[in-house]
Amino acid sequence: MSSVCAAALVAIGADAALAQAPSTSATLARVKERGVLECGANQGVPGFSMPDSQGRWTGFDVDYCRALAAAIFDDPTKVRFSPLSSKDRFIALQSSQIDVLARQTTWTISREISQGIAFTAINYYDGQGFLVRKSLGVKSALEFAGATVCVPQGTTSELNAADYFRTHNIRYQMVAYATVDEVIKAYESGRCDTYTTDMSALAGSRFLMQNPDDHIILPEVISKEPLGPWVRKGDAQWFDIVRWTLFAMIAAEELGITQANVQEMLKSPNPEIRRLLGVDSNYGETLGLTRDWALRIIRHIGNYGESFDRNLGARSRIGLPRGPNRLWNVGGLQYAPPFR
């Protein structure tokens, strides 16, 4: 063998070894040293992220952060939640005040290419709608004429609503507020005719009002709002951990792995189940975690469907249908890449 060929083989071997070796995540190292995950959350939307009277956070996005803490620490309580307004959420992530932003935040090109942050994966497919008082007698957003529109400041909702009204030649007045609480108070006090934001947030916010049954969500869905967790750019391993934590929950639902049966599933002959749970794989170690990282998530939090049902779906007071958030094999869009 020539010296050139030998050198080439050595280089190929080194590249392969480097590709298989776990990289070092500065964010993961800080999280482990700190002993707690810093998670950016909404200021209070029922079903997604809301503290109770004792300060305990619950919700769909909260479950995700607890799943991430479970993967890292085997303890879903090792997470601290920072309630963030729409206008402050990206600053908190950019400045490392938080490790991950899990707060109903839409994936858009302008956000991803200009702010030093990266979207990881879609945990909720949503769209923007309108909430109105029944007494207004409006059945469609096309009936608005000179309407005053309440909207959270610093959101895609402002641009979407402006585009919609201009496209349909509808006169309107936009009023933006810094926090969800301010929007709800303004809407309930009659300072605006409609409150517009993501449909899921409207459904949750309705329950914060004095008389929820006095309000309805109009049928129009005026935008695409793919929501999910965000991280800072520049830490590829942390990006992978945040993304694949969600995929592990989605894959678990597809494979029939639940919080109740996950230990029994360790005995399954199904190769994909065995790879997901770390029986026949070391994906967790490659991520900088442990072999049983996905098992930890499912044991403490459950699969994607379990989290959806208890926070947003049939087992919750919100009662949202799964819709496009059903799994791909039952007519939905939720899809985890293969664990192989």
pLDDT for 7-23, tens place per residue? Answer: 333 333 333 333 344 45
Point out the least confidently predicted range of 1-15, 29-43, 149-163, 231-245.
1-15
Give pLDDT, residue 1: 45
**Percent of the chain clearing pLDDT 70 (strictly above):** 93
Mean pLDDT confidence for 230-257: 98
Give pLDDT, residue 10: 34
pLDDT in tens, 196-215: 999 998 998 888 888 889 99
pTM, full prediction: 0.88
Q: Provide the b/e sequence for 142-162 (b: ≥16 CB within 10 Å).
A: eebeebbbbbbbebbbbebbe
Could you tell me the pLDDT band of residue 120, with boundaries at 50, 70 and 90? very high
